[in-house]
Chain A
Amino acid sequence: MRRPASSILKTAGLFSLPLGWTLLLLIVPYLMMIAVSFWTRQFPLFVPDFQFGNYVQLFSDPQYTTVILRTLKIAAMVTAAALVLGYPLAYFLVFTLRSERLRNLVYMAVIVPLWVSYLLRAYTWKIILGTDGALNSALMSLGVIDAPLDLFLYNQAAMVITLTYIFVPFMVMPIYAVLENIPKGLIEASEDLGIGPLGTFRHVIAPLSLGGVVAGAMMTFCLSFGDFVAPVLVGGPDGIMVANLLQTQFGAALNWPLGSALATLVLIMVLVILGLTGWAERASARNLR
């Protein structure tokens, strides 16, 4: 296809907008954050520098290591809980529901909450789990308990419940997609060979759906690791997460270099997980062939 030079130039001009925008306003900011993570704080200023002090502090000061480890633990628990709830749901949609209409309807019902404000969905758990909240008062008026239980709000369990609630749809979507792509013939073949549903699941469905599980787990883990809202709304004093530390470094503590170092660690973690996920998905795609 031949085009006049002027039109090629016009096209190039038009296309330099997204390239330039992404470079300047997305890639450069990430690089800038990484650069600032090597700076030094000389209160109240931040001085350009190249030293690893901020990272050393993050890995040696128990104040920070405790929070990082706790966040890893909570993100892992949320991922496991979302998988336990999400996998059977996706399986049910693909293999148990025969009616296409019903399947689309239930699938929509799972996805719809993603559209409803994330902040509000986290907030509802505050009004449900609180000391005067809906759950305690409902149990009391039913006569199950006499006095409100403190065990619901402001602890790590409340955070795991809230985050699981938020991220279940992220788990269902990719698992549903891979289960739907499994050739039905494979399952019929397995059944024809006299292998029961459990055996079919173990030898056919589970290995073939691994890619979706990995993708969903990746999403859930990364996003719940950096969650901003749940720790503030339902987490208690033992619920401080990496996001709260970051907030403090850019707020009251006013230590941007240290905050940037912590944010860079999160960035590196997500990039590593994305890399591993890509690799696992390619491996799983090879299995299917």
Chain B
Amino acid sequence: MKQLLWWQKGMVGFVFGVLAFLYLPIVVLVVFSFNDSKVTSFPLAGFTWHWYQAVFANTQMLTALKNSLIVALCATGLTLTIGTLAALVLDRHEFPGKGLFRNAILLPLSLPGLVTGIAMLNFYKQIGIPQSLTAVVIGHATALLGVVVSQVMARLAKTDHRQLEASADLGAGPVETFFRITLPSIRPAILGAGLLSFTLSFDEIPVTYFLTGRDITLPIYIYSTLRRGITPEINAIGSMIVLVSLLLIILSVGLLRDRK
């Protein structure tokens, strides 16, 4: 490696600073989840599993966790199905209003979630969908379409269209061509988008806040608990979520890596 100049050395320091800024808070969360004290302050009071035991004894929190998992699974399944079809339509066909269709699907990615949540709440109220976990699933599946469409379309753009023609020339119908040619080539994008959608849905607050009824998801439970004050139980469940997220990332990096 060639010798770094003084300003490059400064930059290395700066970059380490930014990385520390990104990771220290997560470390703090994990450290305090094992700290034997009700307050999150230094010096540390000693090691305990107590807050983890408290999580597993907290039925409200566990119910919310179960709700979150169900919502995230259903929303991911729905959004993958509709989003993949949407990506295929956008990739293969020209039709009036195509630009509007694509932009509408991508809009929730850059629009603050609560605007989407409010729009859905207004509409659901008019057509009579009650505030419930079902409403949350529909809302998440719709808001996350953009994630699936952008990833799958990027993959489709790299697909060799001659393969599709060859498949048709060999007498395969569109359905067979889809399962034998298209699906294998976009599978990594679908898996990646699925993992990302699951994570985002599991963690979603703004849309959920407006659409949920009596049954709440874990983020809403944590959010409303935090408005009243801090309990170290949140550190414990938070650390577990961080651990699962990290496992999911490693999994998705493995899946998304281009096989050469």
Q: Which of A123-131, A180-188, A205-213 contacts B (4 or more CB under 8 A)?
A: A123-131
Beta-carbon contact of B112 and A226 below 8 Å: yes
Contacts of B4 in A (CB 8 A): 96
Partner of A17 from B85, B142, B248 at Cβ < 8 Å:
B85
Q: Mark A85-101, 1 if CB is under 8 A from B, else 0.
A: 11011011000101100
B216 CB–A CB distance under 8 Å: no
Do A134 and B174 form a contact, CB below 8 Å, given A29-B120, A116-B242, A121-B26? no
Contacts of A140 in B (CB 8 A): 42
Beta-carbon contact of A15 and B112 below 8 Å: no
B255 CB–A CB distance under 8 Å: no
A154 CB–B CB distance under 8 Å: no
Contacts of A119 in B (CB 8 A): 203, 205, 219, 222-223
A85 CA / B17 CA spacing, docked (Å): 9
Interface residues of A in 1-34 (CB under 8 A from B): 1, 3, 7, 10-11, 14-15, 17-19, 21-22, 25-30, 32-33
A99 CA / B230 CA spacing, docked (Å): 43
Q: Which of A60-68, A102-110, A280-288 contacts B (4 or more CB under 8 A)?
A: A102-110
Residue of B at shortest CB range from A90? Answer: B15
Do A232 and B227 form a contact, CB below 8 Å, given A14-B85, A218-B110, A256-B122? yes
The count of chain A contact residues (Cβ–Cβ below 8 Å) is 85
A223 CA / B113 CA spacing, docked (Å): 8
Beta-carbon contact of B101 and A19 below 8 Å: yes
Beta-carbon contact of A127 and B118 below 8 Å: no
B14 CB–A CB distance under 8 Å: yes
Contacts of B26 in A (CB 8 A): 113, 116, 121, 124
Residue of A at shortest CB range from B14? Answer: A88
Beta-carbon contact of B174 and A29 below 8 Å: no
Residue of A at shortest CB range from B112? Answer: A226
Give A41 Cβ to nearest chain B Cβ, in Å. Answer: 14
Give B64 Cβ to nearest chain A Cβ, in Å. Answer: 13
Beta-carbon contact of B42 and A134 below 8 Å: yes
Do A118 and B15 form a contact, CB below 8 Å, given A96-B8, A133-B40, A134-B32? no
A98 CA / B3 CA spacing, docked (Å): 12
A212 CA / B82 CA spacing, docked (Å): 30
Give A238 Cβ to nearest chain B Cβ, in Å. Answer: 18
Do A227 and B112 form a contact, CB below 8 Å, given A14-B85, A130-B230? yes
Do A36 and B122 form a contact, CB below 8 Å, given A109-B19, A110-B19, A119-B219? yes
B235 CB–A CB distance under 8 Å: yes
B77 CB–A CB distance under 8 Å: no
Beta-carbon contact of A128 and B89 below 8 Å: no
Beta-carbon contact of A92 and B15 below 8 Å: yes
Contacts of A130 in B (CB 8 A): 40, 230
Contacts of B43 in A (CB 8 A): 137, 141
Give B84 Cβ to nearest chain A Cβ, in Å. Answer: 9
B29 CB–A CB distance under 8 Å: yes
Q: Mark B106-124, 1 if CB is under 8 A from A, else 0.
A: 0110111111101111111
Beta-carbon contact of B42 and A250 below 8 Å: no
Beta-carbon contact of B110 and A274 below 8 Å: yes
Partner of A263 from B19, B101, B114, B203 at Cβ < 8 Å:
B114
Contacts of B154 in A (CB 8 A): none
B22 CB–A CB distance under 8 Å: yes
B165 CB–A CB distance under 8 Å: yes
Interface residues of B in 79-138 (CB under 8 A from A): 82-83, 85-86, 88-89, 93, 100-101, 104-105, 107-108, 110-116, 118-124, 126, 138
A113 CA / B24 CA spacing, docked (Å): 11
Partner of A259 from B1, B15, B118, B246 at Cβ < 8 Å:
B118
Partner of B111 from A86, A115, A138, A226 at Cβ < 8 Å:
A226
Q: Mark B1-30, 1 if CB is under 8 A from A, else 0.
A: 110110110011011001101110110110
Give B200 Cβ to nearest chain A Cβ, in Å. Answer: 9
A225 CA / B114 CA spacing, docked (Å): 11
Beta-carbon contact of B32 and A116 below 8 Å: no
Beta-carbon contact of B123 and A126 below 8 Å: no
Beta-carbon contact of A165 and B22 below 8 Å: yes
Beta-carbon contact of B122 and A113 below 8 Å: no
Do A219 and B41 form a contact, CB below 8 Å, given A22-B105, A127-B235? no
B-side interface residues toward A, CB under 8 Å?
1-2, 4-5, 7-8, 11-12, 14-15, 18-19, 21-23, 25-26, 28-29, 32, 39-43, 82-83, 85-86, 88-89, 93, 100-101, 104-105, 107-108, 110-116, 118-124, 126, 138, 142, 145, 165, 168, 173-175, 196, 199, 202-203, 205-206, 209-210, 219, 222-223, 226-227, 230, 234-235, 238, 241-242, 245-246, 248-249, 253
Sample (16) of A-B pairs whose CB atoms are under 8 Å apart = A27-B104, A29-B116, A29-B122, A30-B104, A88-B15, A98-B1, A109-B22, A109-B23, A127-B235, A134-B41, A169-B22, A222-B111, A228-B112, A232-B226, A263-B115, A266-B111
Given contacts A33-B115, A115-B248, A232-B226, 12 further A-B contacts (CB under 8 A): A21-B82, A25-B123, A27-B100, A29-B123, A30-B107, A113-B23, A116-B246, A225-B112, A226-B111, A228-B112, A259-B118, A267-B111
